[in-house]
Amino acid sequence: MHPDDRDPSSDPPSLPSAQVKERRESSVTIQAGRADLIPRLAPLWMALQKHHASIAPQIERVRAFRTPEESWSVRRRQYEQWLQHGDAQALTAEQDGQAVGYAVVRIVPSGPTLQTEDRIGELVSLSVLPSSRDLGVGSRLMEEVHRWLADMGVTTLTTSVLTNNTNAFRFYKRLGMVELSVELVGTVPHRP
Ligand SMILES: CC(C)(COP(=O)(O)OP(=O)(O)OC[C@H]1O[C@@H](n2cnc3c(N)ncnc32)[C@H](O)[C@@H]1OP(=O)(O)O)[C@@H](O)C(=O)NCCC(=O)NCCS
């Protein structure tokens, strides 16, 4: 039969976008590590810093964002400190040999405000490359973050979200998280 003679109703239906996304998502694997993973995180952190600078230009009225490279050199040093201990974990989402997303989580002393255990989880970073967003990669990383914290006996998780980062707010609220505090930044008035 000539292809043009086929009954169109017998064609397999085209996949809805959610299913296409599901297929791509399944090729992502999560790798857990510590300081060994830091060199792979640079482009992912810089994507996050670029994202932050692009969504919150009003902050630049008070302070400019660091360049992605400068920002990475600060963050890298923090990761080196945190990830040499067993109370922090790095996770990368790998696709075709490339890290397309990552999370860094650590366990920190709790504060005085909420009734929690003495040590709580802090998600210090979560970033997915722009081309891999909305495919379930961030959700997979969060599953592993939750699994690691549960294995460590931790039941509370906090994180910070930059103002205007509406996608990230929605993402975390979908995971049952609620807003806790707002961080402000300003300039100390000059004293004559
Ligand atoms: C926020 C961020 C980490 C989320 O990662 P992600 O991989 O895009 O997250 P997911 O794909 O798991 O979820 C994103 C959305 O896609 C949807 N989705 C996920 N998998 C899907 C699938 N297979 N089919 C259809 N939709 C899907 C989710 O329901 C979710 O919807 P929501 O926007 O209403 O919450 C990512 O967008 C990112 O890196 N953003 C820039 C940096 C940032 O904001 N980081 C976090 C704050 S510091």
Cβ atoms within 10 A of the Cβ of 172, count?
Answer: 20
The mean predicted confidence, pLDDT, of the chain is 89
Residue 34 CA to ligand 1 center (angstroms) comes to 24
**Look-up: residue for tokens 């997303």?**
101
Q: Is 128 in the pocket of ligand 1 (CB under 6 A)?
A: yes
Of ligand 1's atoms, which has the minimum distance to the CA of residue 140?
12
CA distance between the termini of the chain: 90
Nearest CA to ligand 1 atom 28: 134
Residue 32 CA to ligand 1 center (angstroms) comes to 20
Say how far apart CA 28 and CA 97 lie, in whole Å: 10
Residue 134 CA to ligand 1 center (angstroms) comes to 4
Asked whether residue 113 carries a pLDDT value surpassing 70, the answer given is yes
Tokens (6 digits) for 67: 């360049």
Burial code (b: 16+ CB inside 10 Å, e: under 16) for 93-114 equals bbbeeebbbbbbbbbeebeeee
Q: Is 22 in the pocket of ligand 1 (CB under 6 A)?
A: yes
- 64-80 pLDDT, tens digit per residue, is 999 999 999 999 999 99
Domains, the chain, ranges and CATH? 27-172 (3.40.630.30)
Of ligand 1's atoms, which has the minimum distance to the CA of residue 133?
8
Strand ordering across the sheet containing 119-128: 29-33, 88-95, 98-109, 119-128, 157-159
pLDDT of residue 10: 39
Asked whether residue 133 carries a pLDDT value surpassing 50, the answer given is yes
Residue 170 CA to ligand 1 center (angstroms) comes to 9
Amino acid at 59: I
Say how far apart CA 166 and CA 103 lie, in whole Å: 19
- 17-43 pLDDT, tens digit per residue, is 444 445 455 589 999 999 999 999 999
Say how far apart CA 75 and CA 144 lie, in whole Å: 22
